[in-house]
Amino acid sequence: MAVDVVLAETVRETGQPVLRLYRWWPPCISLGRNQPAKGQYDDAEAKRRGIDFVRRPTGGRAVYHHHEVTYAVAVGDRQLGGPRRTYEAIHRALLAGLRLLGASTEIVDPRVALRPSTVPCFQEIDGGAIVAGRRKLVGSAQLRERGVLLQHGSILLTGDQSPTTELLKVAWKSDERDRPAALDELLDFLPTWGELVNGLLSGFERLLDVEFVQSRLDDAEKGRMMRHSRHFSDPGWTWRL
């Protein structure tokens, strides 16, 4: 989370958009910026399972990060036409990349929005979500701050989001039909990490007419990252709501 905030700061300084693709270890449940969570999760059971918690800078609802790909895009808030158009443009690019990988996916009607809630991200379909057969495959959320949009999203490799409900202190009833979609069901075999990255990058390059250049954090960015990491590791932030 700290790295993504640093990237947004760099975009604010330079105007150069950034795409980051990454994985998580250990497994972690990320909470939306304004999602109620304090006292609602069994933290002891989460620790027993080796699952961490973090609160994102972006909105949205709880996501279990384990067998999935997380993307983060930082871009000027008007470069792609404002928050809604940015959301739609990024999802169209992701859709193109997923189709290049062989996944049959589509985007649902963009008019439905979800409010902050303990209902997990992948339990309900929001407007503009990427789905396969009416089951959600990609969940995304945004932060708009000081001229920059940061958009996070999770692309599921397997459909296991069960910790987002099993760790809630209040029992959650779910239907098998609510289970999210996942690439391991949509493809004959899961691509390697390199194949996933190349496919998703190709989708962005084709849809948004861009060319990516690989980069790393410089020393100044690493220093800012360490400062931000103290904020995101603070339980006062994680459990503020």
Q: Which are the catalytic amino acids?
A: 121
**CA nearest 201: which of 73, 108, 104?**
73
> How far, in Å, CA of 86 to CA of 19, rounded?
13
> How far, in Å, CA of 85 to CA of 80, rounded?
6
CB count in 10 Å sphere of residue 14: 10
- What element of type H or E holds 22? strand 18-22
Q: What is the DSSP string of 121-183?
A: GGGSPPTT-EEETTEEEEEEEEEEETTEEEEEEEEESS---THHHHTBSS-----GGGPPP-H
- Write the DSSP symbol of residue 34: T
> How far, in Å, CA of 95 to CA of 100, rounded?
9
